[in-house]
Amino acid sequence: MARAFTPAPHEVPLPGATLHRILHGSGGHDLLAAGVGPALAAASTATALTAAALAGTPYDLVVSAGIAGGFQPDAPVGSLVVADTITVADLGADTATGFLPVTELGFGTVTHHPPETLVRAVADSTGARAGVVLTVSTVTGTAERAAELRARHPRALAEAMEGFGVAEAAAAHGTPVLEIRAVSNPVGPRDRAAWRIGDALAALTEGFGKLAPALESWNPHEL
């Protein structure tokens, strides 16, 4: 994915994270390997957002990107997905009558919405499908769990492990968020032989190469 950026980045060390900074014109991008899982991704993203805010150069947008499991047949392996909704699927309580999200327990948040116009522009420029991307702390490994998640989230296209954490950090700073994923494996029974990480990373790199027009045409004041 970093290969989609020119010129080559320079490193900016932060506590617990390193930014790869690409400057062009009066702006630029910072690339952050935010770590695996919602907690580390939230912590790293919050560090970067806070450093930028304290430097007087806050970010306009946070993009969470990586590989994901795709719900079949809607998100085939090798395809790109952009989240119109970022939902944490396992933050809540298990009960005898089923799962209750924290919001039904009376606190917290389970969903963030990226700006609609930006999601549409990204889908148009990259060919990504738009839909719900779930964040899970445990990778789905059975057909039963995949069916349960799909029953609770009928518009889910993909599951990954960081989007909600990144979105929580972005929301705390009032910064819009986007999640873009390339599908490396089907969501369902564990089958490492079915993984296509190389293909997914190539699709993500290609997608990022087509992102500039969508980002440049987006008006941050338009939701």
Ligand X SMILES: O=C(O)c1cccc(C(=O)CC[C@H]2O[C@@H](n3cnc4c(=O)[nH]cnc43)[C@H](O)[C@@H]2O)c1
Closer residue to ligand X (CB): 65 or 122: 65
> Does residue 160 contact residue 131 with C-beta atoms inside 8 Å?
no
Q: What number of helices (H) and strands (E) belong to the chain?
A: 7, 11
Cα–Cα distance, 43 to 55 (Å, whole number): 18
Of 4-12, 100-108, 156-164, 165-173, the window that binds ligand X (rule: CB under 6 A) is 156-164
194 binds ligand X (CB under 6 A): no
30 binds ligand X (CB under 6 A): no
Give the nearest residue (CB) to ligand X. Answer: 69
Question: Which sign, positive or negative, has the C-alpha torsion 35, 37, 41, 44?
Answer: negative
Question: Which sign, positive or negative, has the C-alpha torsion 106, 110, 115, 121?
Answer: negative
69 binds ligand X (CB under 6 A): yes
Q: Which one of 65, 160, 182, 211 is in contact with ligand X (CB under 6 A)? A: 160
Give bridge partners of residue 183 from the DSSP assignment: 68
Closer residue to ligand X (CB): 84 or 162: 162
Residues at the site binding ligand X, with contacts judged by CB under 6 A: 36, 66-69, 136, 139-141, 159-162, 184-185, 187, 190, 192
